[in-house]
Structure formats: C-alpha cells, structure tokens
C-alpha cells in the first residue's frame, strides 16, 4: 500500500460541474470519428495537485526486486517474462509500477533518477488513491457519460502514464478492445486527461477517424490455467496506412475520449518535456458481457465500481 501522509492527500480536489462540457455536436462527432478532444476539462491547478500526489507516490515507492518490471509497449515481447506478466495481470485491484526499458542495470539498480524511470502506474488508482478516485467519479465525468447515453457505466481500470522525456516509448497502432473485450463490442470508452501540454513533439495521440466501425482482428487472452505464457494473442493486428492517422494535441487539462475500437498510436517522446496523463476506462455494463478471457478481471476486493454515485 502506498503511504498517504501528505499535504496533497489532505486537499480536496474539486472537479466542478458543467453539463455544457459535452455538446450534442460533440457527442455526434465522437460517435462518427471514434474520438473527441475537449479542451479545459480540468483547471491547471487541478492537474498540478494530481501530479504532486504522483510525485509523492513515486518518491515513496518500494518495489521488490522481482517486481522491477520493465514495461514494453511491444506486447509479444512483454509476454516472454513470466514474472512480469504475473505482476501485470494481478494488478487490476492494486497500484503497481511499470518501468521503461533500460532504466535498471544488471544488479537491478536504477540507471536514471527514479522519477524518470516509470512508463506507467496502474491499474487501480481510481480505487486506492482518493484524489484520482475523486476525479474519476467527478460530476464532470458523470455528465460526459450521461450525454453519451451510458446507463450503467462501471470503471474497469486506471493508469498514470509518464511518457518520459527522451525515453518515453512508442505505442504502436492498436485498439483498446483488443485488451478490454466485450460482447457486444462498442461498450468500452477511454477517458485520457492531459496533466501537461501534449504536443507533436512529446508524443501526442494519433487516430484513424472512423476506424471504430470496422471491428477488431486481434485479442489478448488469458491462457488455460497452468499454461505459459500466462496471456497470449489471438489474431493479428492489421497494417495501417500511416497517412490515415490524424494528430490530437491537447492543452494541459484537456480530455480525449477514446472509443474502444478506434485505432490510435503515439510516437516515442524524443523531446525534453514529459507528457503526464491520467487515464481510465469505462464500460457500459447494461446488456454487456465482460469476457472471462480478458487479462483484467474484477476481484472480490475490487468488483468493477459503478461510475454514478
């Protein structure tokens, strides 16, 4: 458990109410293109409080030797390490640390400052960290979900993504439904909040508009108990024409809505500016079946919590 004795932890992060944040035109654009950028979703000060709390978490993290997991955005490469895969697939109700490649030496010691070592932290900040829980369940988020017609949305997972300056890894073209599969499809949505300016230089998202209407061709699934690897891929990712991708830069505090089937990617961060993001996924649970083969499964300690409170 991450210690919580901090000034930031005593703060109440207020995320205001705005029914006009998402207009009918915005909702239509999201349905047509599969993604939507909403500037000014959080105030800069709200972003700063979230970043301050994350700095405290990173400063105090105590990661066991066997958990010093280098997170690879090449999923097939990640599957080769059984220890790291187990650490990953059992993180759904915890706060765990996933590192960039090359940040540990052969002895397991950091080769860079610890605050510059992380790829992401996940996957239950929304349950274990009050400030992030407050943002996730905020009235603003609830209003967005209601405007998009979600009746019984639940929270699947949450992540803090660092995209470290100079070493923040490329994320290759993918669809979130590959990893968060439902029947029927079209029931998962990502909410991606920029805690710093996100630019072409530091690794903004790129989308293929309308690609959420073509289904998926690949799934990541749990293998039968006792098998290795613990998870595997079924099917193959399509090859995408690079000319179809449209960049989606966003200012600090902006929100990007991501349909579960829209194809998106981000480049390596070769700039000297980080790209901190808080992101989480919702699922419309009404008339929806969550696949028992997904890597992420609800637990007794943390069933998927309802968004609406």
**Residue 248 forms beta bridges with which residues?**
205
16-63 pLDDT, tens digit per residue, is 444 457 999 999 999 999 999 999 999 999 999 999 999 999 999 977
For residue 125, give the 3-state DSSP assignment. helix
Does residue 4 surpass a pLDDT of 70? no
Would 309 be classed as within a structural domain? no
- The mean pLDDT value for 175-204 works out to 98
Q: Is residue 1 part of a domain?
A: no
Decide: helix, strand or coil at residue 161.
strand
Distance between CA atoms of residues 274 and 189, nearest Å: 25
Of the listed ranges 11-25, 143-157, 191-205, the least confidently predicted one is: 11-25
Residue 264 within any structural domain of the chain: yes
Q: What is the rounded average pLDDT of the residues 171-191?
A: 98
- 268: closest CA among 198, 170, 165? 170
**pTM for the whole structure:** 0.90
- Residue 297 in any domain: the answer is no
pLDDT of residue 100: 87
Q: What three-state secondary structure class fits 282?
A: strand
- CATH at 16: 2.60.120.620
pLDDT band, residue 93 (cuts 50/70/90): very high
Domain with 34, as residue range(s), is 7-290
Lowest model confidence (mean pLDDT) among 16-30, 84-98, 115-129, 279-293 = 16-30
Residue 1 has pLDDT above 70, yes or no: no
What's the distance, CA 205 to chain centroid?
A: 12
CB atoms within 10 A of CB 107: 6
Q: Is cis: bond before 184, omega within 30 of 0?
A: yes
Task: Quickly list DSSP for 198-213.
Answer: B-TTTT-EEE-TTGGG
For residue 295, being part of any structural domain is answered with no
Please state, in angstroms and rounded to a whole number, the distance separating the CA atoms of residues 256 and 191.
6
pLDDT score for 58 = 95
Supply 188's token pair: 């998962």
pLDDT digits (tens, 9 = 90+) for 194-250: 999 999 999 999 999 999 999 999 999 999 988 888 999 999 999 999 999 999 999
Q: Is residue 188 part of a domain?
A: yes
Q: How many domains is the chain built from?
A: 1
* Residue 138 resides in a domain: yes
Q: State whether residue 278 is helix, strand or coil.
A: strand
Q: Is residue 59 part of a domain?
A: yes
């Amino acid at each position: 458990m991450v210690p919580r004795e901090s000034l930031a932890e005593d703060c109440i992060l207020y995320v205001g109410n705005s029914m006009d944040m998402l207009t009918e035109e915005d909702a239509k654009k999201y349905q047509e293109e599969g993604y939507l950028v909403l500037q000014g979703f959080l105030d800069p000060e709200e972003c700063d409080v979230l970043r301050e709390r994350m700095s405290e978490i990173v400063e105090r993290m105590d990661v066991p030797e066997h958990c010093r997991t280098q997170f690879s955005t090449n999923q097939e490469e990640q599957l080769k390490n059984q220890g790291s895969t187990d650490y990953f697939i059992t993180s759904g109700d915890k706060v765990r640390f996933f590192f960039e490649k090359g940040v540990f030496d052969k002895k397991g010691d950091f080769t860079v400052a610890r605050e510059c070592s992380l790829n992401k932290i996940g996957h239950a900040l929304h349950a274990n960290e009050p400030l992030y829980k407050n943002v996730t369940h905020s009235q603003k988020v609830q209003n967005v979900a209601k405007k998009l017609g979600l009746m019984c949305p639940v929270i699947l997972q949450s992540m803090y993504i660092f995209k470290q300056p100079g070493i923040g890894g490329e994320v290759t073209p993918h669809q979130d439904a590959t990893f968060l599969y439902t029947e029927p499809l079209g029931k998962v949505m990502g909410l991606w909040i920029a805690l710093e300016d996100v630019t072409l230089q530091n690794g903004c998202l790129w989308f293929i508009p309308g690609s959420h209407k073509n289904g998926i061709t690949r799934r990541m699934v749990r293998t039968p108990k006792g098998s290795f690897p613990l998870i595997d891929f079924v099917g193959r990712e399509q090859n995408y024409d690079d000319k179809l991708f449209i960049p989606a830069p966003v200012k600090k505090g902006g929100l990007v809505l991501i349909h579960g089937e829209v194809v998106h990617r981000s480049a390596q961060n070769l700039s000297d500016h980080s790209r901190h993001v808080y992101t989480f996924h919702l699922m419309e649970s009404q008339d929806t079946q969550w696949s028992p083969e997904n890597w992420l499964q609800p637990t007794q300690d943390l069933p998927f919590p309802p968004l609406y409170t």
